[in-house]
Structure 1
Amino acid sequence: MSFEGNTLVDWPAFQQARSELGGGFIRILGYFREDGVKSVAAIEAAMRAGSAAALIIPAHTLKGEARQFGAEPLADLAETIETIARDCVELHDTPDAALEHVARLRPLFGETLTLLEREANPLVPRRPAAGGFGRRAVPSGFGAE
């Protein structure tokens, strides 16, 4: 499953989180990375064990943290896994229906995290928008004037 960068992250929500979290933003994004890696591993282990109950908390955690950064497709996938797991616990069933979703989780988490970290990196050069306030459009291409 591959997404375009503009569909993996709700960038206005990302910018809002960045603004609200201020100086702690990078640290909290680091926690998202750490918690996300643990959650994905726990979800995969629970799926291998056939334990619906063990899927619930890491899926719920990943869902909430992903939404905080505007990572809606990741949050939606985690929510689907959580919902299936809760239903299975209620019905005393195995979480087989979650398998295809769990299989998509790790790649989606990786792609999303890459985008979030790239956007948050203060060392990544950003090209100013052409024609922005106080800026003139910069020609592109070799020798363009």
Structure 2
Amino acid sequence: MRDDVIDPSALERLLAAIGGDPEDLEELLGDFQHEGPRTLSQMQSAARAGDRDALRISAHSLKSNARDFGAVALATACEGTEHAAITDELEALRMRVHLIATELDRACGALAKLAQRDG
């Protein structure tokens, strides 16, 4: 079954990069599922405060992690926000953060399902 939220080839690359140990991948997954919401919270606070630099940095961080786990839509939303933080109106940035929240939820849910299936 193909999951449209997660690119399985990215998970295969990540697993290979960490030496092929599924337990290590599971630990990284746990870290992502813990840190992703924390980073999102930082982004939401930065958007409310109008702190474009903090928003850009948080979006960059979450983008990189999302790419590692194959969460393509999340990574794309973060990349757009990272660039938009420089010029977009604050309300538009807040809408982008809302989209990121939705995509993060979808990615974490899909990764949890994959972990259950593979575990």
* Alignment partner of 1:29 is 2:24: no
> What is the aligned-residue identity percentage?
28
The superposition leaves residues 17-54 of structure 1 with CA deviations (integer Å, 9 ceiling, x where unpaired) of 23433231111111111210111001111111111111
Q: Tell me what 1:11 maps to.
A: 8
Deviations for 1:73-106, whole angstroms, at most 9, x for unmatched residues? 1001011111111x23xxxx75333222111111
Q: Which has the higher contact order (CA 8 A, sep 6+)?
A: 2
Matched-pair contact (CA < 8 Å) for 2:48–2:94? no
Q: How many angstroms does 1:11 deviate by? A: 1.3
Q: Report the Cα distance in structure 2 between the residues aligned to 1:8 and 1:125, rounded to whole angstroms.
A: 17
How has the CA–CA distance of structure 1 residues 6 and 101 changed in structure 2, closer, same or farther, with 3 Å as cutoff? same
- Cα distance, 1:104–1:25 mapped onto 2, change above 3 Å: same
- Rate the CA distance shift 1:16–1:95 in 2: closer, same or farther, 3 A: same
Structure 2 residue ranges without an equivalent (≥5) = none
| One-letter identity of the residue aligned with 2:97 | V
Distance in 2, Cα, partners of 1:35 & 1:60: 13
Give the structure 1 partner of residue 71 of structure 2: 71
1:140 match = none
Higher helix share: 2
Q: Aligned in 2, Cα 1:104/1:6: closer, same or farther, shift over 3 Å? A: same
Distance 1:9 1:125, change over 3 A: closer
Secondary structure in structure 2 of the residue aligned to 1:7: coil
1:20 equivalent among 14, 17, 31: 17
Aligned partner letter, 2:110: L
Taking structure 2 as the reference length, what is the TM-score of the superposition? 0.84
TM-score normalised according to structure 1 size:
0.70
Shift in alpha-carbon separation, 1:125–1:10, aligned structure 2, 3 A: closer
Counterparts of 2:82 and 2:33, CA distance in 1: 19
What SS is found at the alignment partner of 2:70?
Answer: coil
Match of 1:56 in 2: 56
What count of residue pairs does the alignment treat as equivalent?
Answer: 115
Partner residue in 2 for 1:132: none
